[in-house]
Amino acid sequence: MEPHHKKSALGRLKTIRGHLDAVIRMVEEERYCPEIMKQVSAVQGSLEKVNRILLQNHVETCVLRAVEEGRSAQVVDELMETLRYTPSVTDARGGNE
């Protein structure tokens, strides 16, 4: 993994971990459901950003290398399979980071 992508992904994941702990406390404290739902949505959005970072790293490293090695068909199949499980990274509303 490219160092800048790794640093960005890890930073976001550590922030998400803290945010998730706060959401757990909200549930334990029986806070107002819409407040909790808003925070859960924020955690989901943050995880989607991590997925975009991971996808970008994959394209910049593994995909490029596979194309250079003449394994285009294989890497396209792999990439399509990856996108199948992460539709949020291809959602036009996802934005760019």
Locate 18 and state its tokens.
């803290």
Expressed as residue numbers, the domain containing 48 is: 3-94
91 — pLDDT class (breaks 50, 70, 90): low
- What is the per-residue pLDDT for 93? 52
Q: Please, is 53 exposed, middle or buried when counting C-beta atoms within 10 Å of its C-beta (0-12, 13-18, 19+)?
A: buried
- What is the per-residue pLDDT for 86? 76
Is the per-residue pLDDT at 10 higher than 90? Answer: yes
Residue type (1 letter), 13: L
Task: Residue 11: give its domain's CATH number.
Answer: 1.20.58.1000
How many domains does the chain contain in total?
1
Cα(47)–Cα(29) distance, rounded to whole angstroms? 24
83 — pLDDT class (breaks 50, 70, 90): confident
Other beta carbons within 10 Å of 87: 11
Residue with tokens 């593994």: 62
Q: Pick the more confident residue, 78 or 28.
A: 28
Over residues 24-31, mean pLDDT: 98
Q: Please, is 5 exposed, middle or buried when counting C-beta atoms within 10 Å of its C-beta (0-12, 13-18, 19+)?
A: middle
Q: Each residue of 30-64: pLDDT tens digit?
A: 999 999 999 999 999 999 999 999 999 999 999 99
